[in-house]
Structure 1
């Protein structure tokens, strides 16, 4: 912990980045201290460097003086890794000013971007060249934050996560303090030793601060087909996925599951949405399927919407009981509005989990039975990425429920769900949200001791004094 007086800390950091980029007034710091879902702390101050050189200077100063530093992008994370604790001793370093020009290399199909560039701004620029960065999310994070959490999204089945689309990066190291590591390669093939950039992917802002990146980008689709499909039953979901992959291959871009409760929640609470199956009622479960191609209908010789319609007609009664096809926007609005809608119905208890695709049906069946047996007053609004085994197994404790909300019961629920996911089905307690103070205890619960020990040695080598971030990937300290 730093022994520097607060005023001295403010003065010294202001000398590095400019007085207007150091915030101490609560009116200015509040938005950096409150997480999107979790994280409600108090920062010593907020500093906003505007270049890699200024990031290096801030990291060097804080590391040398023992000031804990929390890197932050757009603050859209969901595990509290980018917000300070309640001590008032941690400095939040916002990277939102690390923007600059987005450099697009059309021939190499890459984009070089600052860590503070948002996903929306990147895609607006790429669209000018017929390209996109196809990590589809419900938020608008910065590229640096996406690297730190290795975001995936709804189209991972086709394009992969951030890790699969990251070619190079620039990072400021915690040790030696402030040293800039240049890994800004735009190569797709480079087999020359350790792939060091991977040390900074999905590790929650520990060890180093990403300041720039080289991303692989993709052509914009020229035709898209979307359908909301009612399967004949839970057992048909994976058979339908296999059939779609066999029929359409890489044209299959998304395969998303939406429960009846989740869809009804959107219809009840989000203006401008309507039941796509009307006059039929909302089905017990539906699948949002998207096909896309960068080839035109004329060149491909296939209209994807018609091809999907023909495919579904062949599956009626065996795998499909109903389907709605359209251009996609309205159906995706339902999918993207689920999280917003369920927050209005009580206390949200969110689970971001993954199991092998082949275990999704069995997991959901067992988890539903467990909820009905042990927590019957809770309501499940599950949805997610059947194509990659991911599931947002979101549960609401209704405001009017009996018993009243109780934190100890929520902890028992979390342990029960995660034990089933990890120990029962070999899954992950954090499919794409990463690890932060909110769920770090589960990392230590489920990660093997040899893995924790090795990860701790790596983290200690990268950051021997624990200068950066809020997560410890080594063995948990003894109680």
Structure 2
């Protein structure tokens, strides 16, 4: 049956679009962070119609499909398990459609386009898709995980910038649905496109999208701020929001150990602190439609330094790209430091620093030898709570130790602080355990019903059962 299914898929998609050799599959089977599975095959359709045809064959032949974008996710949401029975459906060739409407400030495109390609092609027209990430994901993957990023404070997440999607359901017909479109306002029924946003591809495969575009800023300036204390971080944010309004486009927190790891492992970085890295710092960015961003930011910070020394201890200005280079190097630096155990958490903004302080006081007693290298999106309540273990320590070598650590952290996040155990990276196989623990039964029943209605044959690395 498997051989017959592969033959049928090759006849439908073309021999070069069905990969079965181990050396051809490996890049698709290997995730961005430690996860690795084994696939029966990799399908590479080039159009929405080919996606639908592949789905029809897979449903008829009983093959389970794993939709995959650029495979930059961190929770094993786009890679197969170890069974060797699942089939990866890659979106990477879904690039034939790229139709901007500059008057409407919208873009209709295939789900395989990368974020970098989208913004490079829009820049000559003075527009961009405003999701700022360290990785370079595909549009389909960004929608499936509802990506946020460093400028969420100003522009929101993918959901807030999505006008429409075309999806393929995992049913016998490989049904193609076009939901939403170029209209910015349409209240004639349920906004079904949002059912497929942030749900990891479990309800349908995103093949095309219509994105809302924004004008490129005319000028930008950034500074690295040293708050007077951890307790001063949120009051400082509120003061800057009051003074700058929507011109404040980023307010990114960076712990001292995370910054030191980046400076140690990325030689091209310039140390803005002259060797005395503070315990915590903030990258603040201002964006304006006309020149004057640096003057505006400087005036606000000068007033804060003079009038509120209990909030702001220091401010370091530098070239915009060089300042952001430190923030974007944090992930690479932390990963190079040792065995990374990463958490993608979300809180009410006022709880972020309290949570981090509690964990820094308690975790080393339970798990000796870990280094806490947190950083994240203070402006929207998100934090990448990264723990680094020595490669030879039990945490790095014993999965049960890591599981115990994750249970402790997630229980504190959800039970004590009312936070989320997955702020930006969705569920995936890595987060399935905690989805089952913390998701109410009524919500899970609803998810099962929706999955049965949209894609009864099942899709994705993790279902919402």
Residue aligning to 2:374:
382
How do 1:231-270 residues align onto structure 2 when only pairs under 5 Å count? 231-270=227-266
Residue aligning to 2:42:
46
Residue aligning to 2:100:
104
Residue aligning to 2:400:
408
Asked whether the 8 Å contact 1:316–1:322 carries over to 2, the reply is no
Deviations 1:435-459 (A, max 9, x none): 0111111111111111111111111
Please state whether the residue corresponding to 1:39 is helix, strand or coil. Answer: coil
Asked whether the 8 Å contact 1:39–1:84 carries over to 2, the reply is no
The alpha-carbon deviation at position 316 of structure 1 amounts to: 5.2
Residue aligning to 2:278:
283
Residue aligning to 2:83:
87
Residue aligning to 1:372:
364
How do 1:127-166 residues align onto structure 2 when only pairs under 5 Å count? 127-166=123-162
Residue aligning to 2:288:
293
The alpha-carbon deviation at position 176 of structure 1 amounts to: 5.0
Deviations 1:148-181 (A, max 9, x none): 0100001001100000000011111113531111
The alpha-carbon deviation at position 310 of structure 1 amounts to: 3.0
Asked whether the 8 Å contact 2:47–2:96 carries over to 1, the reply is no
Taking structure 1 as reference, are residues 126 and 389 closer, same or farther at Cα in structure 2, changes over 3 Å only? same
CA distance in 2, matches of 1:289, 1:403: 34
Asked whether the 8 Å contact 1:101–1:113 carries over to 2, the reply is yes
CA distance in 1, matches of 2:375, 2:48: 39
Asked whether the 8 Å contact 1:345–1:399 carries over to 2, the reply is no
**Residue of structure 2 aligned with 1:469, choices 448, 460, 463:** 460
Please state whether the residue corresponding to 1:113 is helix, strand or coil. Answer: strand
The alpha-carbon deviation at position 295 of structure 1 amounts to: 3.3
Taking structure 1 as reference, are residues 339 and 469 closer, same or farther at Cα in structure 2, changes over 3 Å only? same
Asked whether the 8 Å contact 1:225–1:308 carries over to 2, the reply is no
Deviations 1:377-398 (A, max 9, x none): 1111110011011000000111
Residue aligning to 2:66:
70
CA distance in 2, matches of 1:85, 1:196: 30
Deviations 1:417-441 (A, max 9, x none): 0011111100000000110111111
CA distance in 2, matches of 1:237, 1:216: 32
Taking structure 1 as reference, are residues 169 and 26 closer, same or farther at Cα in structure 2, changes over 3 Å only? same
Residue 352 in 1 paired to residue 347 in 2?
no
Report the TM-score, using the length of structure 1 for normalisation: 0.94
Residue aligning to 1:19:
15
How do 1:303-342 residues align onto structure 2 when only pairs under 5 Å count? 303-315=295-307, 317-342=309-334
CA distance in 2, matches of 1:451, 1:311: 48
Asked whether the 8 Å contact 1:222–1:293 carries over to 2, the reply is yes
CA distance in 1, matches of 2:257, 2:116: 30
Residue 447 in 1 paired to residue 442 in 2?
no
Deviations 1:238-294 (A, max 9, x none): 000000010001011011111110111111111111320216x11111011011112
User: RMSD of the alignment, in Å?
Assistant: 1.6
The alpha-carbon deviation at position 74 of structure 1 amounts to: 0.6
Please state whether the residue corresponding to 2:426 is helix, strand or coil. Answer: coil
CA distance in 2, matches of 1:326, 1:220: 21
The alpha-carbon deviation at position 402 of structure 1 amounts to: 7.2
The alpha-carbon deviation at position 315 of structure 1 amounts to: 4.7
CA distance in 2, matches of 1:51, 1:316: 57
**Residue of structure 2 aligned with 1:428, choices 413, 416, 420:** 420
Asked whether the 8 Å contact 2:59–2:172 carries over to 1, the reply is no
CA distance in 2, matches of 1:101, 1:449: 40
Asked whether the 8 Å contact 1:64–1:177 carries over to 2, the reply is no
CA distance in 2, matches of 1:69, 1:341: 34
The alpha-carbon deviation at position 94 of structure 1 amounts to: 0.8
Asked whether the 8 Å contact 1:72–1:93 carries over to 2, the reply is yes
Flag structure 2 segments of 5+ consecutive residues without an equivalent.
Answer: none
